[in-house]
Structure 1
Amino acid sequence: MPGLRRLLRDDQGRVLVVHPVYKDEWDIPGGIVEAGESPVSALLRELQEELGIAPPVGQLACVDWVPPAPPWDAGLMFVFNTGVLTDSRIAALRLQPEELDEYVFAPPADLDKLLPPGLARRMNAAVLAADAGQTAYLEDGLIRLLP
């Protein structure tokens, strides 16, 4: 199943990073696409469940092919850019306590310290692509130039 993440930023360009209760590492809002569900529908569902908000989907910032890492098969990760969250949207964030216990807005330069390496590479590439108004194709978080 494909996975998806949402590039949510504040007016200072910082990226929303969440802490799941079921693991030690920080993460980016999103989840897994369920059977019969489109990536956009899954993203809207996950954000409503996890954060209590439904911001506009926005442009696709990147697609990342992730190699297999047992027990997981290879997969595709989609990162959608929503642009800037307004102060009122940030104030409306409501973490689902069964899934998330904390969130921060982190400068892109700090993502390498907070996120697992592959996710940090993916999100840094998504920030660059979003800022350029483009969509990046990645393999394991690394930008691949297509012929």
Structure 2
Amino acid sequence: MNGKTVSCGIVLLDPNGRVLLAHATGTGHWDIPKGQGEPGESEAQSALREMAEETGIAIDASRLVDLGRFVYRRDKDLHLFAARAEAGELDLSQCHCVSLFPRRHDGVMIPEMDAWVWVAPADVDQYASRSLARLFGTTLSLAELHGQL
């Protein structure tokens, strides 16, 4: 074991090849729905649970394409899956986040994610963290993925 944590997530693309990003509450960061697995979960189960918790979108495991593990940061790798959003999943006003965390200044429990947006590959850098933007800019082309799904 290399001491890195592994975060599992889903790159959800709409029919136009835009990627779903979620806004991390109280930060300037937008990210794909992802998180660490719980004991006994497979990577796919973790990714599906995180998607459901952070967006309210429940995806059937049969729709996932396993993209594998990617170097993300010094302390973290990503195990990513891809899926194409279906018609009922495109309206992001229906999204909601059920995973909560304590707000720094007062401990009040608040949603982990508080906004969602479809972002064209060319615009990802304006939203995503440097680590995520670098991943999509170098190792994992959203345009190529769009063509494969």
Tell whether the structures are fold-level matches, with TM greater than 0.5. yes
Corresponding residue of 1:130 = 145
Q: Which runs of 5+ in 1 are unaligned?
A: 135-147
**What is the 5 A alignment of 1:95-134?**
95-96=96-97, 98-124=111-137, 125-131=140-146, 133=148
From 59, 63, 72, the equivalent of 1:66 is 72
Partner deviation per Cα, 1:65-88 (whole Å, 9 max, x = no partner): 2342xxxx3x321121102x1231
Is 1:80 matched with 2:86? Answer: no
Query: Would you say the 8 A contact 1:61–1:126 is kept in 2?
Result: no
RMSD value over aligned CA atoms? 2.3
Compute the displacement of 1:132 (Å). Answer: 5.5
Corresponding residue of 1:94 = 95
Compute the displacement of 1:56 (Å). Answer: 3.3
Corresponding residue of 2:104 = none
Corresponding residue of 1:35 = 39
Partner deviation per Cα, 1:74-130 (whole Å, 9 max, x = no partner): x321121102x1231223742116121111101001111211122112234152552
Count of residues paired in the alignment = 128
Corresponding residue of 1:141 = none
Q: Scaled by the length of structure 2, what TM-score is found?
A: 0.73
Is 1:21 matched with 2:25? Answer: yes
Q: Which runs of 5+ in 2 are unaligned?
A: 98-109
Query: Would you say the 8 A contact 2:38–2:46 is kept in 1?
Result: yes
Question: After the TM superposition, which parts of structure 1 deviate over 3 Å for at least 4 consecutive aligned residues?
Answer: 131-134
Q: Matched residues, percent identical? A: 28
